Amino acid sequence: MLYELNDAFDEAMADDEVRVVILAADGLHFSSGHDLELADSLVSDDDFVAVSAWSQSRRLGLGGWYAAEQELFLQLCWRWRNLPKPTIAQVQGKVIGGGLMLMWPCDLIVAGRSATFIESAVAMGCNGGELFVHPWELGHRKAKEFLFTGDPITAAQAQALGMVNRVVEDDELEAATLRLASRVALQPPLAITLAKQSVNHALDAQGQWATVEYAFALHQLGHADNRLRHGGSVVDPAGARRVREENRARGGAST
């Protein structure tokens, strides 16, 4: 799905008629995140053509795993964050773990009132998702609470924290997102690109990319520790079970 999404972004970037890209999901939930049933079998180099320099997932040991996660879960997300055209995430229902990593690279976020945001990585033995931008999305105090507890954040709370631009009723979500996209599309394309680059550079000057790289390395340490303590599993199995149960109890998707 990640490579298909990347192809769709590339197609939109190459089409001069496209001014704004909307990333949306069909169904009750935006994304339940990583498929943990496949956690120990990431794609090999033969499955897809890498879009970054990280194309050595067939290496034995942690080297292959590190390369695969760099390609799939970090380099793709960072590439989307820096696309020249504006992007808007349209989200509803559960947005869990890796689902945050689909949403956060987008420039703007419109949420249905049902949207609930959950980060379960700490419960499963890691410091956070591979794209670690939590302090910028939530502020450092709320980021720590979000990570330490795994408690969900509602759409209204996310808007108050600045993570979400607009919150609307679910049955108005698509129309509201299209209205925002239409407003953005009226602006000169180059000026929009330059404004986007300027804001992203401000984040870079604050050390966002340096933090993402550092946190990604710590994420790999978490995986390695889990492998040693849990018979080769890259996540804490007990934590993963608890996360699934909690998400089902909340009435939604499970990672």
Looking at residue 31, its amino acid is S
DSSP state of 128: S
Apex 148 CA angle, 144 and 149, nearest 5: 120
* pLDDT value of position 206: 98
169, 159 Cβ separation under 8 angstroms: no
* pLDDT value of position 40: 55
pTM for this entry: 0.93
* pLDDT value of position 181: 98
* pLDDT value of position 255: 54
What the block records as the tokens of 14 is: 């190459």
* Cα(176)–Cα(194) distance, integer angstroms: 25
Closest of 179, 212, 176, 192 to residue 77, by C-alpha = 212
* pLDDT value of position 80: 98
* Cα(201)–Cα(198) distance, integer angstroms: 5
Per-residue pLDDT of the chain (255 residues; tens, 9 = 90+): 999 999 999 999 999 999 999 999 999 999 999 877 655 556 555 667 888 877 766 666 778 888 889 999 999 999 999 999 999 999 999 999 999 999 999 999 999 999 999 999 999 999 999 999 999 999 999 999 999 999 999 999 999 999 999 999 999 999 999 999 999 999 999 999 999 999 999 999 999 999 999 999 999 999 999 999 998 888 998 988 888 888 788 776 655
* pLDDT value of position 229: 94
69, 220 Cβ separation under 8 angstroms: yes
Hey, how many other C-beta atoms are within 10 angstroms of the C-beta on 15? Answer: 11
* pLDDT value of position 81: 98
